[in-house]
Structure 1
Amino acid sequence: MSFLTDLPRERTLIDASLWSADLGALTAEVERIGSYADLFHIDASDTSFTPDAIFFPDLVRALRPKTAVPFHVHLMAHRPAHLASAFADAGADLITVHAEAEDAQAALERIHAGGQAAGLALTLDRDPAQVEDLLELADAVTMVGTPLGTKGTGMAPEAVDRMRAVRQILDRRGTDIPLLADGGIRQHTVPDLVAAGATGVVAGSLLFGSADPAATAEWIRSQHPAATALAEEGFR
């Protein structure tokens, strides 16, 4: 059974993006943010699907002993199956590949065969209705709301509607898997994404750049409809 089934459902999940950490002090950053993260989000690329190499398997292997927080490797690659195996060996717990990849189905199947959770990511130009078959193989879905491979970019206006469309597909299929929003995660975008059906956000600068990460994490978690209902109940 995937570890994802043990993640809390009563609040918004925090997938803390290490790309926004102090890259010169990653061990310290992992320790500083670890108590607020449900996952650590690790971007990786074949340098073709998106140009930046970002993280690589040996770096993941070096970080793995530093925290018990699960590692979510977001693999941006045209043919991710081989790279997925390398990141699995390095200690990834959830490996997400893109629906646009040439061997997306084979990669998802290989990830499962290796004992890891398999995620599916969709870029802004991918129609969610076209990947329903791949959703059957996914343990989590990541909706990318900015141009792929960019950092510090504002969320695209259509991201909320796309999130809502995927939420409707998952609900119709009776699939209760994490639905993560990645890109443009700011205080003014989180409420709309959660209202549209996101169960977690990939928090980068919002969390790592916060002067009070504990308060920021608490605020993110409180955006979940269930958490809001509990808070309101407490005031009655």
Structure 2
Amino acid sequence: QDLNPFFNFLDKYTYQVGNPYLNPQFSHNIELNHTFKSMLTTSLNYSTTKDIIQDVLEQVDSTNTSYVKKSNIAKRENIGLSVSLNAPVTKWWRTSIYTNAFYNKFSGMVNGGYVEVDGTSFMANINNMLSFSKGWGAELSGFYRSSAVQGVLVSDPMWAMNIGLSKQIMKNKGAIRLVVRDVFYTQVFSGYSKYQNVDVTIRQSRDSRVVNLSFTYRFNKGKTAAQRKRGGAGEEQNRVSTGGGN
């Protein structure tokens, strides 16, 4: 699809188009990891990418139209430090936390002109699992991402929170689960791009607030099924040893 030169109109003045002249991108990566007591993991990484493929916005001044296409925009350098924790807080509360701080730098020729964009960003994810009495459980999770450099586009901060409630039923064989994603309807992407004759602000929203109600049931084969399986294997063994077919 990225190589397909056909046009896909987003509105009257904006469209997407493929780039049949895309080249592959090549990366060199180095990463160091350390794990403490199987709970805390720290990672330090560095990467450099040549001919990185990114969305590039180009503008046609004569028609006041803009189009987006994938392009090789020379070089990206990235260095990052991440820390993740997966551990119990109490007997009924378990948490998983991931944080990442990183620096991105993009430099190279875009639309015939030299462009250099860089910035430091931070992101975090957290997930909390709570277990209560009588089969009740809850989940609280969310993420935050600061402003970030993504090629020639600088994205604005974004965050979201999810909540869930569950109940074990039918002697713990069944479960009812209610989940609300993006409770505050904040998972909206926005950003801007400024270079050469391009000065654009982007805002994309979708139906990210979703409510899910589900029921699951766990089937247990039990002792009878296990005996039937062993009996079937014994019959097959007898057939092989006696050479009988029917």
Q: Work out whether the TM-score is over 0.5.
A: no
Q: If each structure's strand is expressed as a fraction of its own residues, which one has the higher value?
A: 2
More relative contact order in 1 or in 2 (CA 8 Å, sep 6+)? Answer: 1
| Structure whose alpha-carbon radius of gyration is higher | 2
Q: With structure 1 as the length reference, what TM-score do the two structures score?
A: 0.24
Q: With structure 2 as the length reference, what TM-score do the two structures score?
A: 0.24
